[in-house]
Amino acid sequence: MTRASTCGAPRLANAGRLLVLTLLCGAFAPTAWTASHPQNPAKTLRVTFPVAETGFDPARTNDYYSGTVIEAIYDRLLTYDYLARPAKLVPDAAESLPQITDNGKTYTFRVKKGIYFTPDPAFKGKKRELTAEDYAYSIKRFFDPRNRSPYAFLFEGKIVGLDELGVQARKAGRFDYDAKVAGIEVPDRHTLRFHLKEIDYGFPHILAFSLSGAVAREVIEFYGEDTNAHPVGTGPYRLKQYTRSSKIVLEANPGYRVKIWDFQPGDDPLDREIAAQMKGKRLPAIGNIEISIMEETQSRWLAFEKGETDMEYQLWDVAPTFMTADGKLRRAIAMAYKTGERIRILRKGQAVRAEHPIPPGIAGYDPSYVNSIPYDPRTANALLDRFGYKKAADGYRRMPDGKPLVIRFSSTERDRQYDELMKRSLDSIAIRLEIHKDRFPELLKLERRCRIMMRNAAWIADYPDGDNF
């Protein structure tokens, strides 16, 4: 989608998954039999990110790329059966799926025993087991005003007493992590119970989201404001090397519990092929993952051609909308945008037009719905003429008050083709386009400060329900 600044915390995806990382790091229910193909610590997967990460603290990050690393380092209570269609939840750090009582308002989890955090100076040489309290603490962190968490919305209005604790923290200037929250019970070391304000059968999906993994309080307090650079989890990988905005190296967690690939694929031939190749392998199957930051598209492609990287990545996004104070201007821009050209040329036909706010395959999608805004630059021009957006001597339109009408479009260096498509679209309705280039993390910062007028942004579902859109 094309994002216009609304001066609110951006709801960006970080919840999607990098395919290869999912295959190698996926946390799934273990089987009773042994692996026929053990781990190979000598294997290294080399990948690139087209933009720099923002960090690896689940409560403080909000971008897709950081989220893929976070998902490899931290364990969530639940995860997804990778090959299941439709999406199916399975236990991760939980012993089983939750016990649901009170007609869907109470969820009880049992955390597996014997799961340990990777060693870190914060633990002062002691072995640190994962507990139910770690999940309670981690969820509270989304409501700590100091974290300015972009993903607090996932839990807002859901858990009894949690929003109120966040309000108290804003008034007091500090968050009381020791305060009791009626909606988060920890009856014993490995039992966690949530009491919701309303019936919500989709709540478990939120606990399977990549940023819902457990952090240790000792680690957060030890590293203070530098938690984004010091992720310590219980997941299949740990951070081995980190050079900010340049290189990220993950290595298989030597203390990770035994987990074997054992899926039952559906009808998709590709799923069957994956299942046959991976069946019986212990996870994670690869010892190291080297991630390099390469913002230039040409540099990434040349590295791939030379065999310096093992995969090339493409960012998927959807058709744009634009927000200004004037709905007529928004509508005209939407009618002029060359979505068909974007699908045919930039996406090589591998995309679908977004007719409905909810995509196909997600609960709530209506296949009969047709978007009420067609591609029609002729009508868009007539609309602008009618409502006072007149053309000046230079051929470009002015605002109704006579001031220049300029759309400032922000993008990264790799987005040249999208810039050109946007320019051709706006030229067709005589609106001047100004291109602003910056690095991805800087664009996020500018957006949070309300300094972005318009940009492309991807939305990848945090959980498979129309509510998330």
* pLDDT reading at 419 higher than 70: yes
Which residues contact residue 8 at a Cβ distance below 8 angstroms, ignoring those fewer than 6 apart?
none
CA distance 278 to 399: 59
Q: How confident is the model at residue 21 (pLDDT cuts 50, 70, 90)?
A: very low
* pLDDT reading at 61 higher than 60: yes
Looking at residue 81, what is its pLDDT? 87
* pLDDT reading at 17 higher than 50: no
Amino acid at 191: T
DSSP 299-323: HHHHHHHTTSSS-------------
Residues in the chain: 469
Q: Which of 323, 339, 325 is nearest to 376 (CA)?
A: 339
- Going by the DSSP 8-state scheme, the letter that residue 229 receives in this structure is G
**Between 377-386 and 327-336, two packed helices, what is the crossing angle to 10 degrees?**
160
According to CATH, where is 3.40.190.10 located in the chain?
2-305
Tokens 């930039």 correspond to 346
* pLDDT reading at 338 higher than 70: yes
Region of poorest pLDDT, from 15-24, 135-144, 230-239, 244-253: 15-24
Looking at residue 322, what is its pLDDT? 40
* pLDDT reading at 379 higher than 80: yes
Region of poorest pLDDT, from 197-211, 351-365, 366-380, 384-398: 351-365
Measured from the Cβ of residue 26, the count of other Cβ atoms closer than 10 Å reads 24
Looking at residue 12, what is its pLDDT? 31
Long-range contacts of 305-309 (CB under 8 A, 24+ apart): 308/46, 309/46, 309/47, 309/48
Nearest-5° Cα angle at 171, 169 to 177: 15
Looking at residue 39, what is its pLDDT? 56
Q: How confident is the model at residue 40 (pLDDT cuts 50, 70, 90)?
A: low
Tokens 């990777």 correspond to 118
* 344-374 tens-digit pLDDT: 998 888 888 888 888 887 778 888 888 888 9
Environment class of 188 (CB within 10 Å of its CB; exposed 0-12, middle 13-18, buried 19+): exposed
Residue 256 · residue 220 · CB < 8 Å: no
Radius of gyration of the chain (CA): 24
* 250-307 tens-digit pLDDT: 999 999 998 888 777 877 788 888 888 888 888 898 999 999 998 877 788 788 888 8
**Between 162-172 and 132-140, two packed helices, what is the crossing angle to 10 degrees?**
60
CA distance 133 to 177: 11
CA distance 316 to 298: 18
User: Mind spelling out the 3-state secondary structure of 331-392?
Assistant: HHHHHHCCHHHHHHHHCCCCCCCCCCCCCCCCECCCCCCCCCCCCCHHHHHHHHHHCCCCEC
- The arithmetic mean of pLDDT across residues 240-254, rounded, is 96
- Cα dist from 235 to 21, 137, 160, whole Å: 12, 18, 29
Looking at residue 306, what is its pLDDT? 85
Q: How confident is the model at residue 10 (pLDDT cuts 50, 70, 90)?
A: very low
Looking at residue 6, what is its pLDDT? 34
Mean pLDDT for the chain overall: 85
- Tell how strand 191-195 and strand 106-110 pair up: antiparallel
Q: Which residue has the higher pLDDT, 178 or 50?
A: 178
Residue 453 · residue 4 · CB < 8 Å: yes
Residue 334 · residue 327 · CB < 8 Å: no
How many Å separate Cα 320 from the centre of its chain? 19
What are residue 450's phi and psi, to 5 degrees?
60, 40
Percent of the chain predicted with pLDDT > 70: 88
Kindly state the tokens that stand for 127: 């072995």
Kindly state the tokens that stand for 39: 């781990």
- The arithmetic mean of pLDDT across residues 67-84, rounded, is 93
Beta bridge partners of 192: 109
* pLDDT reading at 19 higher than 50: no
Highest mean pLDDT: which range of 23-32, 221-230, 302-311: 221-230
Looking at residue 325, what is its pLDDT? 65
Q: How confident is the model at residue 313 (pLDDT cuts 50, 70, 90)?
A: low
* pLDDT reading at 417 higher than 60: yes
Region of poorest pLDDT, from 212-216, 244-248, 288-292, 344-348: 344-348
Q: 2-305: which CATH architecture?
A: 3-Layer(aba) Sandwich (3.40)
CA distance 150 to 64: 13
Q: 327-438: which CATH architecture?
A: Roll (3.10)
Q: How confident is the model at residue 224 (pLDDT cuts 50, 70, 90)?
A: very high
Q: Which residue has the higher pLDDT, 127 or 62?
A: 127
According to CATH, where is 3.10.105.10 located in the chain?
327-438
Q: How confident is the model at residue 428 (pLDDT cuts 50, 70, 90)?
A: very high
For 275-301, b/e burial (b = at least 16 CB within 10 A) is: beebeebbbbbbbbbbbbbbbebeebe
* 146-175 tens-digit pLDDT: 999 999 999 999 999 999 999 999 999 999
Long-range contacts of 354-359 (CB under 8 A, 24+ apart): 354/1, 354/318, 354/319, 357/466, 357/469, 358/466, 358/469, 359/318, 359/461, 359/469
Kindly state the tokens that stand for 358: 């909810």
Which helix (H) or strand (E) segment holds residue 270: the answer is: helix 269-278
CA distance 189 to 179: 17
Q: Helix or strand or coil: residue 40?
A: strand
Measured from the Cβ of residue 6, the count of other Cβ atoms closer than 10 Å reads 11
Residue 247 · residue 241 · CB < 8 Å: yes
CA distance 247 to 241: 8
- Going by the DSSP 8-state scheme, the letter that residue 35 receives in this structure is P
Looking at residue 358, what is its pLDDT? 84
Q: How confident is the model at residue 324 (pLDDT cuts 50, 70, 90)?
A: low
